[in-house]
Structure 1
């Protein structure tokens, strides 16, 4: 009797092992098929409705494959962005680099008059500064895009920030006979990082000065609104067509009407990146031949009423 019981138990155990083995093999085959389908087709028929051990395993496998796919997409996007960045940078550096080589070769001529030599040295220095500015600006843009720059934005007074921006472009405006007029306004606390916002405003002011006629005026106005405060920069330049409103904020964009003028197409792009990081934004309104109005919007301080 005991032997029969033991034999029965042994048979049941063997059957249980066989059933588990069959189940395991089926699950393994199922996982292999899912992986094969995912590799070949980019998707697989995962079971998401049944609350079984196998479906939970499939669910986990689906999440892991999804994470892997997202990481691959991100890596591919970063590769494409890096390739585009290098291509843009190479294109932008080509002209100043060629100029530096040309002026260096001219300086090797021992028959040059002292005045000509000084002029070529000055032009070489200017081209080298341009390349340095391009490299630094591209590095800033790249770090802003990837979020590797930490912003210490907070609600702080805007008057000093605007003053720093105007001071940074004052000499250039004076050289071009352009007057910068900051209309009187009551100082107020806005959400921004003073250093970076001064650079953003400075880039927009620099753009206004660059494309405005000699002897004209660039105005800065501060207008409080309900949620934001608007900082408006008005120039008397050549203006911008409506079709270019969005394009001018793209990296390296240069309008065909200013292709021969100085500039790299990075200033407005950087300004927009900086302001977006501070939960602000910038818009433009313009008409060809009638100047432009760039409007910066920064968040007002929210006062808590007890």
Structure 2
């Protein structure tokens, strides 16, 4: 349990970096940041794949199709929505919406995997859901007040950011459940190999996405300086950093955790990502969060910790007589 939790903590600290990119590159389209990050991830995975080629050869056609699905939805689509959300609504609100993932995943796993992992009692989950909802409400109130006070603010753009964050939650609810399914079904396979396989599967999609985005910008007459934008050195360095730490190494740590812990529990540990992302966002703002924001974060943490105290109860298997 402790080793699995420490792996999840390491993954959360590294995954928090993905919330920094859109804040550091506000003039870069979200689509370019998504394909750029996963192009870097795919390129990083190539030498790792060569070193792990014997284990990768054991993966069948169905395994590679699953890796492609996980890469498309859990990587490219998720980060496209997340980057767009942060660029439109700022860092804290999308981070808090993503912070609902622990309980959203727990509830979904409770419906989906209760026969395998046990059932979390719904009445005991309710307080954690209420605490998390209150926490998001507090942070949303602070961000809305700041939006109203800012000259030239755009409430519609803020709402678009919130909606994109909700879509990102849907993507990353689907991803860990399907990823855990594969890992639990293949306990003899290395989580490192599976992380590398997802990187290899991401590469052709990221290359295609990069090419289509470039062609689309040329066709629309955009004056954005493709392929690497107005700050090429910084863009490449940031994408490589996020690709290495947040994508490959973070996925590796998450896979190690997923093999050791029940799906409903490991999903709750994504709270580490939320806390890291909020810390990084306020560090970039150069100020401490206000009392209401801190209260919201405290409520979120309390909600997730409450849920973590609940242990799955075995589901009785019905035996039908002859």
Compute the TM-score of the two structures, normalised by the length of structure 1. 0.28
The structure whose residues are more often strand, as a share, is 1
- Normalized per residue, which structure has more helix? 2
Instruction: Tell me the TM-score normalized by structure 2.
Output: 0.27
**Bigger Rg over Cα:** 1
